[in-house]
Amino acid sequence: MSKEKLPKQYLQIKKRHEKYFKAVEELGKVVKQEGPLDERTAHLIQLAAAATVHSEGAVHSHVRRAIEAGATPEEIYHAIILLTSTIGFPSVVAALSWAEDVLKDKGK
């Protein structure tokens, strides 16, 4: 996970369920190693999935991680707007606003 300040709730759950979090983090590492996609692409895909399930926290996380992996703000916006015909305009607008939360904090 990003080295930036993590949400308080996330940290509380991680502390309470350390073994569980280690397993989830290990699973994340393993699945990324199982195929040819680079880290940037993987985070853009996970960003799209997060937007699809309306997970604001996951959108924030994957925008941060995609940027760290070399994605540009334009690629992040494009990954989200590509979902319009799949998840609908209102859901895309919500995801764009969540992405913007992170991008404005990064000065992008």
d(CA 18, CA 98): 28
Band of the pLDDT at 1, cuts 50, 70, 90?
Answer: very low
Tell me what pLDDT residue 107 has.
67
Tell me what pLDDT residue 106 has.
74
Distances (CA, A) of 69 to 4, 30, 42, 86, 89: 14, 17, 9, 26, 27
Tell me what pLDDT residue 10 has.
84
Residue 58, both tokens: 């996951």
d(CA 66, CA 17): 26
